[in-house]
Amino acid sequence: MLKDKTILLGVSGGIAAYKAVELLRLYVKAGAAVHVIMTKGACEFVTPLTFQTLSGHPVHTELFNLMQEMEIGHIALADRADLVVVAPATANVIGKLAGGIADDLLTTTLMATKAPVLLVPAMNVNMYENPIYRRNEQSLRDCGYHILDPICGFLACGWEGKGKLPDPAVIVEESRRLLAPQDFAGESLLVTAGPTREELDPVRFLSNHSSGKMGYAIARAARLRGAQVVLVSGPTALPVPCGVERVDVVSARDMETAVLGRFAAATVVIKAAAVADYRPAERAGEKIKKNGQGGMVLELEQNPDILRRLGEVKERQLLVGFAAETADLLGNARRKLEEKGLDLIVANDVTMPGAGFDSDTNIVRLLYRDGRMEELPQLDKDEVAWQLIDRIVALRRGVIPSR
Ligand code: CTP
């Protein structure tokens, strides 16, 4: 989403200007071309040379600079941007923009651009709460400017409260969202991810190798494309994707409760979790001790099949399952699609190199209800997720028949 895009990064004069350096680095790493405009105040905190070196482009600082105007021109900067990001955006810049004042290069460019504008305010908490600032921010929201709220924390001015610039990675993710197609907007996605753990005693459990990467990638892609996303997750080490509501569960029965309770509100459900089919018939209250007599037999009982249950009670929801197989991939996947009442199943052979648990890539086949099968090449899990959402959008729009 950021590759080959042109981002105009405005930096205004607050202490958080130093974080804009990291932000620039992340944009460049993601393949974007970044042009930087700094206000006079910003140049007091960080030198233009820093931004110039890291962006590989001249930094623009003055409205009436004959040389800069010859090279690019402020209107050209406004025109060529796919996205304009101001981070940090001071109360002063926000106030000027809300008041229609264009008295330097940054505010002039902001007024002139037709690209989406993301403002990332950072300031002292009292300034942030000032009713004049609040009014200005609201009027910019009303005009269609995108504003990423500051976070709470210890501020450079010594105060504690809301006013800190969000982590640069969060600003980059929000930028991706603004550049992504919003073709999944209006959908409420319920997605499950990760393994479940079935406790044997206070120190042991039965589980599987699922890392959760596939389900998390789906949650992220769906949210970037505009959906409301609830991610019901078994234990994983993964960070929650931006803007996604995560519900943590441990066992299959926890997952069943979490999923059934949220099913009615969902329009699409994707079950990427590797749910344990069995749990120990009894969970010991104390750590099980060796009995010194060789082996031990564990009695297991079956867990509920959550997806099958959803297939039985579904009304208008689109249901997507996964099939992790080690043999007869298509036969088993087709059977699961039918038996669980799914609209689509994503089948993968977890024994293949580059596919399955804990890998960063996957090799999947998509099986539809009307008998069609599509084979995707080995792709990053993020790309598999993106392509899966493409297919679901098409199913929802009736471009691909669902029956
Ligand atoms: N699933 C589920 N509840 C279970 C088991 C599986 O909701 N108790 C879901 C998974 O999230 C996945 C699909 O069903 O979307 C298929 O899971 P998989 O483990 O491949 O197959 P199973 O249904 O468990 O069948 P089998 O053990 O025979 O392979």
Q: Is 276 in the pocket of ligand 1 (CB under 6 A)?
A: no
Atom of ligand 1 nearest to the CA of 307: 7
Is 305's C-beta closer than 6 angstroms to any atom of ligand 1? yes
Which of 209, 336, 345, 367 to mutate to test ligand 1, by most ligand atoms within 8 A of the CB atom?
336
pLDDT at 402: 55
Residue 128 near ligand 1, beta carbon < 6 Å: no
Helix and strand counts by DSSP (H, E) for the chain: 15, 21
* Residues contacting 191, CB < 8 A, separation 6+: 215, 218, 219, 222, 229, 230, 231, 232, 269, 270, 271, 272
| Residue 43 a catalytic site member | no
Residue 372 region by backbone torsions, left for phi larger than 0, else alpha for psi between -120 and 50, else beta: beta
Domains of the chain (ranges; CATH) run: 6-179 (3.40.50.1950), 188-283+296-397 (3.40.50.10300)
Measured distance CA(253)–CA(307) in Å, rounded: 12
Q: What is the DSSP letter of 108?
A: H
Determine the atom of ligand 1 nearest the C-alpha atom of 323. 20
CA of 329 from ligand 1 middle (Å) equals: 13
Angle, helices 213-224 vs 168-179, to 10°: value is: 60
Select which of 43, 143, 152, 157 is catalytic: 157
Give the per-residue pLDDT at 158. 86
193 C-beta closer than 6 A to ligand 1: no
Mean pLDDT by 10 residues, the chain (403 residues): 96 96 98 97 97 95 70 77 98 98 94 97 96 98 98 87 95 98 98 98 96 97 98 97 97 98 98 98 94 87 98 95 95 97 96 86 96 96 98 89 55
Note the Cα 247 to chain centre separation in Å: 15
Q: Answer whether 137's CB lies under 8 Å from 163's CB.
A: no
Give the number of other Cβ atoms within 10 Å of residue 161's Cβ: 15
Q: What is the pLDDT of residue 75?
A: 78
What is the distance in angstroms between the CA of the first residue and the CA of the last residue of the chain? 32
Q: Which pLDDT score, from 0 to 100, does residue 295 have?
A: 87
Number of CB atoms found within 10 A of residue 298's CB:
11
- Find out whether the beta carbon of 336 lies less than 6 Å from any atom of ligand 1: yes
Q: Output the CA 55–ligand 1 centroid distance in Å.
A: 48
φ/ψ of 53, rounded to 5, equals -65, -45
For the CA of 303, the nearest atom of ligand 1: 8
Q: Environment class of residue 311 by beta-carbon count within 10 Å: exposed (0-12), middle (13-18) or buried (19+)?
A: buried
Q: Which two tokens stand for residue 251?
A: 């066992």
- Identify the residue whose C-alpha is closest to ligand 1 atom 4: 305
What pLDDT does 69 receive?
67
Predicted local distance difference test score (pLDDT) of residue 224 = 98
> Alpha-carbon torsion 209, 213, 218, 219, what sign?
positive
Using left for φ > 0, alpha for ψ between -120 and 50, and beta otherwise, residue 158 falls in left
Determine if ligand 1 sits within 6 Å of the CB of residue 321. yes
